[in-house]
Structure 1
Amino acid sequence: MSTAGRMAIGDAMDRLVRGGLPVRFTAYDGSSAGPPDAEIGIHLRTERGLSYLMTAPGDLGLARAYVSGDLDLVGVHPGDPYPLMSLLKDHTNFRVPAPAEALRLARGLGLSHLRPPAPPPQEHLPRWRRAVEGLRHSMTRDAEAIHHHYDVSNRFYELVLGPSMAYTCALYETPEATLEEAQFAKFDLVARKLGLRPGQKLLDVGCGWGTMVRHAAREYGVKALGVTLSLEQAQWAKEAIDREGLGDLAEVRHLDYRDVVETDFDAVSSIGLTEHIGVRNYPSYFSHLRDRLKPGGRLLNHCITRPHNRRTETGAFIDRYVFPDGELIGSGTIITAAQDAGLEVQHNENIRLHYASTLRDWNRNLLASWDECVAEVGEGTARVWGLYIAGSRIGFERDEIELHHVLATRNHEDGRSEFPMRPDW
């Protein structure tokens, strides 16, 4: 206890970590924990930060304190918590105290800190509040979730994603490849897997800023239609199409994929949409995309997956700050849903390590443009992105999450798929 009868925050931290912290922890009350000579550390600046940690133990409380500026990193850039998070993940073993001990700790730190402060403005509503306002994965609620994450600032995304404006996993054909080279390679691989040829029709659902649509039109002479729920993405994509003189081949609409009525597409690409639609909607999703294809047409589904097929929610930080209502599942569930919708799955590929490299390069862009990013969206949102990129990178490196390409065909009634005997890309 301190002289005022309160427990030192550093002492409480020591009690909650088996084996001690691998980093230096300091707090506004002058207390500390962890090795004094550690190069990386955490500083708790305010009582509000302590309240965040006490009222939302785990990643949500830490995120709230960090995003609000009540928790600072020491020895690392505020936009790059990757080194700190890696150390904590490898060498920290937090324990859950028994109820009686938890009460003693709370009293020692001050019961007033059990009153939750208002969350940072970057935080989305909790799942139960969203449920009150609309059915999960209804068109209205999906549109709001997409707006929360994607309609932040096109300029911010230009700074972080780079000229490709591709917010999906790239493909690094060599370790030395740049982010732009890797994004081009990814879209070209999708095009080759789909067997695109001049004069064909492509539908790209969840098209983002229209990069796949423009790639297909520019590189393959394909008439491409993209749809996105983000108005800012659609507007940016239309301007890019006009700049590149692709208006006769490429089109992007501000539209839910479920509202696409055209059919007879030679190919459908879905690059980073499945994470947003909800696992229970997979049957209707794949059926809808199958019905958009002509017989012999191909579907390429590119999405983040889990290394298992158990239904699990995303963590509180990801759900509240990054992808509200996002759901991930294993590639086996995706393949099953595609098959049950009448598609023949021809190929499945996991490129998870490429996503770790992609996130590394997005973080380099974020750091290189940190001051401009902060000026554009505020330091809180920039910190959200640093946390999100670092945590996701660790997840892909350690096979906690994966990235799968599932390629399927809509066959003719007699079973012909028009797919080659062996992959030709």
Structure 2
Amino acid sequence: MTTPRGIAPTIASLFRGGVPLWIKAYDGSEAGALDQPYGLEIATERALSYLMTAPGDLGLARAYVAGDLVLHGAHPGDPYEAFRLLKDHTGFRTPRPAEAIAIVRELGVSHLVPPPPPPQEHMPAWRHRMEGLRAMAKWGRHSQERDADAIHHHYDVSNRFYEMVLGPSMTYTCAVYPTDDATLEEAQEHKYDLVCRKLDLQPGQRLLDLGCGWGGMVRHAAKHYGVKALGVTLSREQATWAQQRIKEERLDDVAEVRFSDYRDIPETGFDAVSSIGLTEHIGVANYPAYFGFVRDRLKPYGRLLNHCITRHDNADRSTGAFIDRYVFPDGELIGSGTIVRAIEDAGLEVQHHENFRTHYARTLAGWCRNLEDNWDECVAETDEGTARVWGLYMAGSRIAFERNEIQLHHVLATKTVDGESGYPLRHEFGV
């Protein structure tokens, strides 16, 4: 095979299935779908080095986050339309040896020296030691120190940044839209209320909210259902924000948010446990211990509501280099069937199971609109690379939910004792 002349045609030839956008490069070459409104500009030699040393989604992400690969025709805060075209084409094909040699000659051997990754890439010391050692990759995963490091990377960006992206609810989990025309804020309020109703919260009861974020569930349950709520988060920034908001809303006597690992919570005897968006971070291998912990914290007949991003099947596969290094270090997803089995194996009785996949696509669309609308402020609060990461990951995740590659499930379970669950003949939590 004759290698195309010029940077853009050469890179375009590596896209599996062809490139659905146009590509232009700093050498003046161009290739791809030149009639498309969307395109990629390889603006610097460093961009070319990223693409050559990490072919596929990781190299593309590094060059894009660094600002060396420029996306045209779409706003970086909401690049959904462009990425929808590109989504299935980011994996580069492997050229045959003779073709690979020709490509290297065309693009230059000097570009085989990998540039340092952008600072937004998560590569702590333990990862350097273990990189490439697949058999050891899971050793030591999800220790308290390592989980704290991973959570800090993603959730301690900036509370002001999150306020601009998430909106007033400060809720970074899937909303539940009661109607087609509901706003993001209305849908987040509806989600918290639905969780409270599924848990059948009653005045005077005690709620434990694991991975509580900025305290939205804790405050909603305390304010509207009269419970005494305790939330825990591994993010110091989240805990500080939540504690301040609890004071402002005068909920100090009924609501508490702790900066703590959930494994360090000594209290037991809770009427209900909500776990909204935490299971993704604990690791599939740790499900038995996690749901055993939940079981031991519940009173007899108490309820668990587990809200978690899932896969459309139960195959064990990686989250991908971009998500692992830039978004959710050590995050693991699996099908809802695996979660149901783990809950049942822990001795809890599953009562209800519901999929909110399409709701998460809508939620992500809302967050992307917020990022685009507040782009300059978000960049000023963090940096342009970080803002690019968020636009890329949220638009890509929206596409994955729309295509049923990932889902969002609620699993409701009870601590059934001697055959008694406290659950009604039919659930009564409504729509």
Distance in 2 between residues matched to 1:318 and 1:301, nearest whole Å: 22
Post-superposition shift, 1:131?
4.8
Match of 1:424 in 2: 428
Q: Does 1:415 align with 2:413?
A: no
**Offset of residue 58 of structure 1:** 1.2
CA distance in 1, matches of 2:269, 2:356: 30
Match of 1:216 among 204, 221, 228: 221
Contact 1:350 1:404 in 2 (8 A): yes
Task: Give the drift of 1:130.
Answer: 6.9
The one-letter amino acid paired with 1:416 is E
For residues 93-104 of structure 1, the aligned pairs below 5 Å read 95-104=93-102
2:283 maps to amino acid? G
Residues 42 and 72, structure 1, Cα contact 8 Å, conserved in 2: yes
Relative to structure 1, the CA distance from residue 160 to residue 93 in structure 2 (aligned partners, 3 Å threshold; closer, same or farther) is: closer
Residue 203 of structure 1 corresponds to: 208
CA RMSD in angstroms, aligned pairs only: 1.8
10, 13, 21: which one aligns with 2:11: 13
Distance 2:129 2:214 in 1: 27
- Residue 405 of structure 1 aligns to a residue whose secondary structure is strand
Change (3 A) 1:350 1:67: same
Instruction: Specify the alignment match of 1:169 in structure 2.
Output: 174
Cα separation, 2, equivalents of 1:420 and 1:367: 46
Match of 2:267 in 1: 262
> In the TM superposition, what is the alpha-carbon distance from 1:11 to its structure 2 partner?
2.1
Q: Deviations over 1:113-154 (max 9, x none)?
A: 111000000000178437589821000000000001001100
* TM-score computed with the length of structure 1 as normaliser: 0.96
Asked if the contact 1:179/1:361 (under 8 Å) is kept, the reply is yes
Which residue number corresponds to residue 274 of structure 1?
Answer: 279
Report how many residues are paired: 420
**1:18/1:149 CA distance change after superposition, 3 Å:** closer
Secondary structure (helix, strand or coil) at the match of 1:203 reads strand
Question: 1:111: how far off?
Answer: 1.0
**Is 1:59 aligned to residue 62 of structure 2?**
no
Whether 2:380 is the aligned partner of 1:375: answer yes
Q: Is the 8 A contact 2:15 2:89 kept in 1?
A: no
1:97 CA displacement: 1.5
Which residue number in structure 1 is paired with residue 20 of structure 2?
Answer: 22
1:22: how far off?
Answer: 2.3
> How many Å separate the matches in 2 of 1:359 and 1:242?
30
- Cα distance, 1:39 vs structure 2: 1.1
Q: Please state if 1:303 is matched with 2:308.
A: yes
More displaced stretch, 47-56 vs 90-99:
90-99
| Deviation, structure 1 residue 59 | 1.0
**Deviations 1:230-270 (Å, cap 9, x if unpaired)?**
00100000000001111110000001011111011000000
Q: Distance in 1 between matches of 2:129 and 2:223?
A: 41
Q: CA deviation at 1:104?
A: 1.8
Relative to structure 1, the CA distance from residue 281 to residue 231 in structure 2 (aligned partners, 3 Å threshold; closer, same or farther) is same
Structure 1 counterpart of 2:7, one-letter code: I
2:404 corresponds in structure 1 to 399
| Distance apart, 1:316 and its partner CA | 0.3
8 Å contact from structure 2 (residues 4, 10) kept in 1: no
What is the alpha-carbon distance in structure 2 between the residues aligned to residue 19 and residue 301 of structure 1? Answer: 39
Checking the alignment, whether the CA contact within 8 Å between 2:223 and 2:251 is kept in structure 1 is: yes
Distance in 2 (CA, whole Å) between partners of 1:158 and 1:18 is: 39
Instruction: Report the counterpart of residue 129 of structure 1 in structure 2.
Output: 128
> Are residues 26 and 151 of structure 1, via their aligned partners in 2, closer, same or farther at CA, if it must alter by over 3 Å?
same
Deviation at 1:84, TM superposition (A): 1.0
Q: CA deviation at 1:20?
A: 4.2
Structure 1: distance between partners of 2:385 and 2:358? 28
Shift in CA distance, 158/109, structure 1 to aligned 2, threshold 3 Å: same
2:87·2:396 contact (CA, 8 Å) conserved in 1? no
- 1:98 shift after superposition: 1.7
Residue 109 of structure 2 aligns with an amino acid whose one-letter code is: L
- What secondary structure sits across from 1:270 in the alignment? strand
Q: Which amino acid aligns with 1:399?
A: N
Q: Alignment partner for residue 120 of structure 1, among 84, 107, 118? A: 118
8 Å contact kept, 2:55–2:91: no
Alignment CA distance shift 1:120-1:94 (3 Å): closer
TM-score, length basis structure 2:
0.94
What amino acid is aligned across from residue 407 of structure 1 in structure 2?
A: L
Q: Does 1:328 align with 2:336?
A: no
Secondary structure, in 3 states, of the residue corresponding to 2:231?
strand
Structure 2 residue ranges without an equivalent (≥5):
132-136
SS in structure 1 of the partner of residue 117 of structure 2: coil
Q: Equivalent residue of 1:320, what SS?
A: helix
Instruction: Check the 8 A contact 1:273/1:303 in 2, yes or no.
Output: yes
Aligned residue for 2:196? 191
Contact kept in structure 1, 2:57 and 2:91, CA below 8 Å: no
What 5-or-longer segments of structure 1 have no aligned partner? none
Superposed counterparts of 1:31-180, under 5 Å: 31-89=29-87, 95-125=93-123, 128-129=127-128, 131=130, 135-180=140-185
The AA in structure 1 aligned to 2:185 is E
